[in-house]
Structure 1
């Protein structure tokens, strides 16, 4: 393995699967030695929601300290948008290059017009992911086919970056193609990188893990892995057990910075845009265990993500530049696919995703009756608050009365089912907590295990 200073993939990709990162110090990757100080993650994605309320085909960013729970940046608005080609992107990917700067790649496609053909991919340069320069489109081939889901990694043997993407090259099915480039301004003629004889898209690489290179991809409706001790085109062989949750695509391999754990993210297209995650402590085994959805939370409306490690300073600087959301979402503890929302002025928990997605966005403001408490102000109806009435939660316009203020005020406490989460005790009915029952929110006394779970929520984004 080479000794270049930066990762070739999204994360530390040269760590033997049996060695906890905390025990290794500075790490050697397929492309070189990683930043010993990398302590956080950045995710790139585009957005779609069921009815299009939250759809945007620009570059979105989120940050995380654990790679599982994310803070969308710029209020979940794009930080940059393509200005040529289809004027939109899908499938973005961030690579830290060997000089420490970043390159962003993305599919040249806006929306879901799969008949649109582009031989190009979008490219940006960035020193810090706070400014983006040198935007252009890079042509990858002359074929009458697309260039979907571009990603790149450093191929030390060739002394160039390998840029892989999905295309139909005359075989009648999608294969993973590769072009080689030194500068992302020009590229070599395309070659077939991986063609197992059936349709494959969305290639995602982990380079140099215990001397082995791994390629995960979408096969049928599942995520499957291939591996090779070489990075040569045509050298990869399928080996893993497929994982899926409904129709699953867009595999993203992530390794923990603090433990002996790999994560595999996947993006479902039925229903629209739900991420699922699996974990493994041995990448070479090719088997994965589904993570409980309590463990992770995707950015709102996010689709087809890419994840890259960053330093603590870069994490802080991204938050300083783009800002954390001015709103929160509340995830149910025992129904973690469901989020607190209002619908027809009733407080309830519903399965993500849904539109209007803003029904699930809340500003946790100082309590209307006691500033030591909190009140839940609706983002899309900012004059309205969640309040209890006959013990059921409903969304009402504030009327300025002390009764309304008291009904709309809660004290945030450690979660009754998990102290790392949150529970909310009623201000004027202090023996009662906010909980769900048959998916409807109400305030009730809480004593049983189930009731404690019903009354526990994760405050995130």
Structure 2
């Protein structure tokens, strides 16, 4: 389906329950508001997503996971490969959603759709149980409705007034446009008859909820390529009223609300259209105001090729166990400090910074290995061309095959130091030209002397994933 045709829209995901807090005192959760069980040790986050890249090289319609300690800087797990993939229905998923259930375990929901076959009208969704997001059990596909339409971007929340979970999703009903539907369930296997949950009279998809925030329930959704809010003091179908100011970064969908575990800050993540899409984030300290400020891209890095994310709080132990089970990537990406939408990559064997996303996406992945000329330094081994390393030649940085000579080893060795523009970032000093640093100039990488503030910013990078 073409996402730019009125009344037609791409599916997505989302839903973060309530406000987990950073301290035991702040975790006096009022279950009457439908908030999740208190987890005093919650101090980290897990993200679920699927992947797409511009030419499809990084596309995979399985469940991918990443972890973070601040909900902004993400470490993909399992080398950014899926941890589980549907075995029935369309054979793939979009729009995964992860929620901690009231028994302490997790439920995983997802759209039954592989790729972009928008005409695939599945009345079912994918569901797994998981005790720890390291194993996934009881795979099933509950039937939500009998309409000739889809069941996109399923999410869930606990409705205390009914003593059941609510499954929220997008479908076209008799109105002829997408609305948000709801079914209620105790086990995510047997569900109630569907009801229209939210129909403001125009096309809406991708509902994401924050339940029981100061007695108010907040619903964010996609409308005409923007992320818009609605709210209600109840969870009754038809009770939500739109409010606030819409946000977007171009055409944007898939809102994801996340409450910081250490401050009063809320984050709203959104996903731009098409395989060329990017995750962006906004923030507010007043969810009730309905106004958002873009987060500086210097402050967050999402997993490569990630689409339509879901974010849920986890404990430090769960964070560590997920890393132990699935492993952190064996590679890194380097992000420019003063052009944070751009990453270091090679193109035609020349090093440069280019705007993400691009294919081959592996051209921007590097193994930081002990320096070829000095093991206290670092050399950048290409993931896509593992016999080649970044080295300088006539002060230009390029990707060359290691010829085994001492000159090559020295040209390909750099010393990582505190960022010249920001000490929390990194700069890389040439081993054999110690007054010169890797920097970008006209987006091409060079080793140059650094003197001005602009030079220092050009020579500063983050090392992440």
Q: TM-score range by the shorter chain?
A: over 0.9
Q: Following the alignment from structure 2 to structure 1, what is the Cα–Cα distance between the partners of residues 118 and 135?
A: 31
CA distance in 2, matches of 1:206, 1:213: 6
Paired residues, what number? 449
The partner residue of 1:269 within 241, 264, 273 is: 273
Deviations 1:43-70 (A, max 9, x none): 0000000000000000000000000010
Partner of 2:161: 157
Distance in 2 between residues matched to 1:151 and 1:273, nearest whole Å: 22
Aligned-partner SS, 1:320 = helix
How much does 1:128 deviate? 0.4
Q: Is contact 2:46–2:314 with CA below 8 Å preserved after alignment? A: yes
Structure 1: runs of 5+ lacking an equivalent: 1-8
**Among candidates 375, 380, 400, match of residue 384 of structure 2:** 380
* Alignment CA distance shift 1:255-1:26 (3 Å): same
Counterpart CA distance in 1 for 2:64 and 2:453 is 39
RMSD value over aligned CA atoms?
Answer: 1.3
Q: Which residue of 1 aligns with 2:221?
A: 217
Pick aligned residue for 1:283 from 280, 283, 287: 287
Written as runs of structure 1 = structure 2, the 5 A alignment for 1:407-422 is: 407-422=411-426
2: distance between equivalents of 1:271 and 1:61? 19
Give the SS at the match of 2:26.
Answer: coil
- Specify the alignment match of 1:5 in structure 2: none
Q: Which SS does the other structure have where 1:321 is aligned?
A: helix
- The CA deviation at 1:34 is 2.4
Match of 1:258 in 2: 262
The Cα shift of 1:413 comes to 0.5
Give, in whole Å, the separation in 2 of the partners of 1:64 and 1:27: 24
**What residue is the counterpart of 1:371 in the other structure?**
375
Q: Does structure 2 retain, via aligned residues, the 8 Å contact 1:349–1:440?
A: yes
Partner of 2:314: 310
- 1:13 maps onto 2:44 in alignment: no
- What are the superposed Cα offsets for residues 199-249 of structure 1, whole Å, 9 maximum, x if unpaired? 000000000000000000001010000000000000000001000000000
> What residue number does 2:7 align with?
none
Give the structure 1 partner of residue 404 of structure 2. Answer: 400
Please say if 1:31 is aligned against 2:45.
no
The alignment status of 1:88 with 2:88, answered yes or no, reads: no
1:246, 1:270 within 8 Å by CA — same for their partners in 2? Answer: no
Question: For the residues of structure 2 that align with 1:10 and 1:119, how far apart are their CA atoms?
Answer: 20
Question: 1:167·1:176 contact (CA, 8 Å) conserved in 2?
Answer: yes
CA deviations over 1:361-414 (Å, ceiling 9, x no partner)? 000000000000000000011000000000010000000000000000000001
Mapped to 2, the partners of 1:347 and 1:195 lie a distance apart of 50
* Offset at residue 294 of structure 1 (A): 0.5
Q: TM-score, normalised by structure 2?
A: 0.95
